[in-house]
A and B are shown apart, each in its own frame.
Chain A
Amino acid sequence: MADDDEIILSDLSDDELVLQMHDDLYDGLKEEIEEGVNILIARKWTPYDVLTKALVAGMTIVGADFRDGILFVPEVLLAANAMKGGMAILKPLLIATGAPRMGKMVIGTVKGDIHDIGKNLVGMMMEGAGFEVKDLGINNSVEKYLEAMEAEKPDILGMSALLTTTMPYMKVVIDTMKEKGMRDDYIVLVGGAPLNEEFSKAIGADAYCRDAAVAVETAKAYMLRKHNRATA
């Protein structure tokens, strides 16, 4: 085991550096991640490769271990914070180079519900997976969701509820989308402590996501299907 000051990122080969960045993301080391991103860019890596091979791949490990009960919320928050540091450097470069988009999500807690820890985690993990995320915050009415879908043109709508009394509101949103003939234009993912698969089916969502890691996996799977449909 090397100790702290023995690892000099700029001395590492590309492969070693990427593995070290996965470790540093796992340990939530923001400055080290920022340094790693800058080194790879200086070594003429494309911003898209830095994003996918170093950051997204590292966050995938964090997500898997969160899903499996090895990591918990504190570690995931620190990892997401480190990821954010790297993303701040990459974002303008990704736009400038016209890198492919992973997808965009509008997310919010439903009307009457003011809980947001789970929803925030999903937002952070989705950003960690390279998605663009528009967070509507808490207590969102159907009108607010519709406005945001109009303005942001997302691929995915995410709705969250912590209360058994607020979760039925998700159906109100989905029913309104159906009435307006726009339901099939979006992937609708739902989550929150009292929800389950059965509920998600009953209200007409595309999928129930048990936790933030599952949300990311589900979003990726649906985006892949969407791309396949578009190119078919």
Chain B
Amino acid sequence: MAQDLLSRLMATQDWLLADGATGTNLFNMGLSSGEPPEFWNIEQPDNIRSLYRNAVQAGSDLFLTNSFGGNAARLKLHNAQGRVGELNRVAASLGREIADAAGRPVVVAGSIGPTGEIFEPMGTMTHALAVEIFQEQAEALKAGGADVLWIETMSAFEEYAAAAEAATRAGLPWCGTMSFDTAGHTMMGLTSTKMAALVEKMAHPPLAFGANCGVGASDLMRTVLGFEMTNTSRPIIAKGNAGIPKYHDGHIHYDGTPELMADYAVLARDAGVKIIGGCCGTMPDHLKAMRHALETRPKGPKPSVADIQAKLGAFSSANDGTGDTSGQPTRERRNKRG
């Protein structure tokens, strides 16, 4: 079997530039808040084409489809659980159209986001149900022409694994990132080193794994260094937010400038990240600055945590549960059962 496009590109390039924000870009095109962005695949396909094309023209080698919330559990909140097949298929086929017209190889990555449900025993979601939900989405993205499935913004490893199983069942290679937004951990308490170790134990591991979203570019880079503590040889993905959202006169904007994102991209490359992109707040101008910096600035030594803080700003927490944990807060237990 011929190797998939992403694997071929990763084998021949030192780094690949992924895309930026989906939501922020669509809101700038007039998507109203609360409206599921996936509906625009059908209602405003030209806007979705523009979203994809803008990323490609800014230099992205890979872009994500507009299908982040396109699973039945999320769409159900808009009474659209019956439209999973249609919305995801079109998300991918519009992407295929733009990628094929790019004049260079561009990967269409079928975005799969969380269900929003919590797994048992704390919540009600089961592994079997999650796999079923994700498989419906995965197969539609494949039918629309996605090259690879892109599982993102996960908080629980159970959910990451369920989406991965669905990707494998759908017969597509996959990549997967989690969001480390709570004191350097995921919301469910997973550290970067633990995630990297769990990924290596998977029966069908990803082509690449990493982090997206979370809290700003500096936190994301600290997470990357955490992955690397495990000496993983698997390609790493970094898709950080363009700074932190700020509120001005009734509008929200992210405070990360194109210059900051260019610094972040170069740091990510120097840290050994293979797939570099942005998340919330990352616009085509940011991507252009990132591409330009990656192409023109010489490769430097691997950055330390201190280098990252100096270039990208302070971290959201003193530590992230990896490496030297001696300074971390702990709870002295009196009497623990079992």
Q: Which residues of A are in contact with B by a Cβ distance under 8 Å?
A: 1-4, 7, 19-20, 23-24, 26-27, 29, 32, 61, 65, 68-75, 77-78, 81, 111-117, 138-139, 163-169, 171, 193-194, 196, 198-199, 202
A24 adjacent to B337 (CB under 8 Å) = yes
List CB contacts (< 8 Å) of B157-176 with chain A.
none
Query: Known pairs A69-B182, A117-B118, A171-B250. 20 more at Cβ < 8 A?
Result: A23-B333, A27-B336, A68-B329, A69-B317, A70-B329, A70-B331, A71-B189, A71-B331, A72-B185, A111-B34, A114-B77, A115-B116, A116-B116, A164-B252, A164-B280, A165-B23, A165-B34, A166-B33, A169-B33, A202-B247
B122 adjacent to A74 (CB under 8 Å) = yes
B245 within 8 A of A: yes
B305 within 8 A of A: no
A166 adjacent to B181 (CB under 8 Å) = no
Bound complex: CA of A171 vs CA of B251, how far in Å? 12
A65 adjacent to B331 (CB under 8 Å) = yes
Bound complex: CA of A199 vs CA of B246, how far in Å? 8
B336: chain A residues within 8 A (beta carbon): 1, 23, 27
B247: chain A residues within 8 A (beta carbon): 167-168, 198-199, 202
B334 adjacent to A23 (CB under 8 Å) = yes
Bound complex: CA of A29 vs CA of B335, how far in Å? 13
Our pick among A68, A72, A165, A194 for the contact of B27 (Cβ within 8 Å) is A165
The contact sample of 23 A-B pairs, CB cut-off 8 A, is A3-B337, A19-B334, A23-B334, A27-B336, A29-B337, A69-B185, A69-B328, A71-B189, A71-B331, A73-B187, A78-B122, A81-B122, A111-B34, A112-B34, A112-B35, A114-B34, A115-B116, A116-B116, A164-B24, A164-B252, A165-B27, A167-B247, A196-B244
B123 within 8 A of A: yes
B280: chain A residues within 8 A (beta carbon): 164
A112 adjacent to B33 (CB under 8 Å) = yes
B189 adjacent to A77 (CB under 8 Å) = no
B198: chain A residues within 8 A (beta carbon): none
Chain B nearest CB: distance from A19 CB in Å? Answer: 6
A114: chain B residues within 8 A (beta carbon): 34, 74, 77-78, 116
B188 within 8 A of A: yes
A7: chain B residues within 8 A (beta carbon): 335, 337
A196: chain B residues within 8 A (beta carbon): 244
Bound complex: CA of A74 vs CA of B121, how far in Å? 9
B35: chain A residues within 8 A (beta carbon): 112
A138 adjacent to B77 (CB under 8 Å) = yes
Q: A1-B335, A112-B33 are in contact. Are A77 and B77 (CB under 8 A)?
A: no
Chain B nearest CB: distance from A134 CB in Å? Answer: 21
A74: chain B residues within 8 A (beta carbon): 122, 188-189
Chain B nearest CB: distance from A197 CB in Å? Answer: 11
The chain B residue sitting closest to A116, CB to CB, is B116
Q: A27-B336, A69-B183, A78-B122 are in contact. Are A166 and B34 (CB under 8 A)?
A: yes
B298 within 8 A of A: no
A198 adjacent to B246 (CB under 8 Å) = yes
Bound complex: CA of A138 vs CA of B77, how far in Å? 9
List CB contacts (< 8 Å) of B221-274 with chain A.
244-247, 250-252
B32 within 8 A of A: yes
Bound complex: CA of A81 vs CA of B244, how far in Å? 33
Chain B nearest CB: distance from A58 CB in Å? Answer: 12
Chain B nearest CB: distance from A21 CB in Å? Answer: 11
Bound complex: CA of A163 vs CA of B283, how far in Å? 17
Chain A nearest CB: distance from B85 CB in Å? Answer: 21
List CB contacts (< 8 Å) of B283-338 with chain A.
317, 321, 328-331, 333-338
The chain B residue sitting closest to A68, CB to CB, is B329
Our pick among A81, A113, A165 for the contact of B252 (Cβ within 8 Å) is A165
Bound complex: CA of A4 vs CA of B338, how far in Å? 5
Chain A nearest CB: distance from B34 CB in Å? Answer: 3
The chain B residue sitting closest to A194, CB to CB, is B245
A77 adjacent to B252 (CB under 8 Å) = no
Our pick among A26, A163, A202 for the contact of B33 (Cβ within 8 Å) is A163
Bound complex: CA of A63 vs CA of B337, how far in Å? 20
Chain B nearest CB: distance from A208 CB in Å? Answer: 11
B244: chain A residues within 8 A (beta carbon): 196
Our pick among A32, A165, A193 for the contact of B181 (Cβ within 8 Å) is A193
A1: chain B residues within 8 A (beta carbon): 335-336
Chain A nearest CB: distance from B327 CB in Å? Answer: 12
The chain B residue sitting closest to A1, CB to CB, is B336
Q: A7-B337, A117-B118 are in contact. Are A69 and B77 (CB under 8 A)?
A: no
